[in-house]
Amino acid sequence: MTDIVFCAKGGDAGVWVRELAALMPQARVQAFASGEPGNDGAAADYAVVWTPAAELFERHTRLKAIFNLGAGVDALLAMPNLPKNVSVVRLGDAGMSVQMAEYVTHAVIRFTRELDRYENDTRELHWRLRKPTLRRDFPIAVLGLGVIGARVAQSLAGFEFPVFGWSRNARSIAGIECLHGEGGLDRALAQSRIVVCILPLTPDTDSILCRRNLEKLLPGGLVINVARGAHLVDEDLLALLDSGHLARAVLDVFREEPLPAEHPFWKHPAIVMTPHISARTLRAATLEQISEKIRRLEQGLPIEGIVDRMQGY
């Protein structure tokens, strides 16, 4: 019998375990019980995790694969006792790409159509028409062209915004001008007024949204970060907003979450924040994907989503 252990910070583990067990009646699925050795099906074959307890890997030493309940694996890879010879598998989509496309497209259109200003006019009882905006004046750089990034780029292009996609390695996406490498990043930013960060967090992308890069954007720009808080240098963003080079920032992720009450982002008039909700993990779609991958592994078949630890995604 296949043994699966579930260990995720927060949420109702019981619901996840019951639904995964229903999808895999041939397996034994149990929740990890911290501090209670032997109660969670010791020596599991597979682990399904999100910010797991460190002792999980000390107690389960014959894992064949570790499934991460999300697309980002930076926190998991940073765990010092993560088994070195066990495959780490990230989610491919599981309903997240359409959510991210909704979120980013909403933020872009709200900015380009000046809807915030119309809302202010309404509160002040002003009936005021503004000069129409042209999509060609708001080219967009989408940083990160994985499954989610590609969906976001195509969604924005569907509204006829000029879109430049950037990734570490060369990609090809219909309707998107794809750039790559350091030179490609400079070109994408220099031609854009809006930047959307959907990159995995790696040593190469940490602090990529810094003053040196953000200054390359066309004046009056918008920064949207839906990837990881560590991509953004907070002080650089504040300085560029205060100088007027940037007009707005929409942030869904932060270096510390929840964001401390004393952080200046809370009170800055040009910053819109949400609490890491741009793309939520959908339980049913996630468990269907994981259960199918476990079945394939048990049959000796290949699966998608295995993380390249050297690249960090």
Catalytic residue annotation:
228, 276
The structure tokens 């400079």 sit at: 186
Q: Other CB atoms closer than 10 Å to residue 193's CB: what's the count?
A: 21
Q: Other CB atoms closer than 10 Å to residue 161's CB: what's the count?
A: 22
First to last CA, the chain: 31
Helices (H) and strands (E) in the chain, counts: 10, 12
Contact 4, 294 (CB under 8 A): yes
CA distance 203 to 274: 25
DSSP, collapsed to helix, strand or coil, labels residue 20 as: helix
CA distance 29 to 311: 31
| Cβ-count burial 91-123 (b if 16+ within 10 Å, e if not) | bbbbbbbebbbebbbebbebbbeeeeeeeeeee
Q: Taking Cα atoms as reference points, which of 219, 258, 250 lies closest to residue 232? A: 250
How many Cα atoms occupy the beta-carbon half-sphere of 73 within 13 Å?
Answer: 23
CA distance 43 to 179: 45
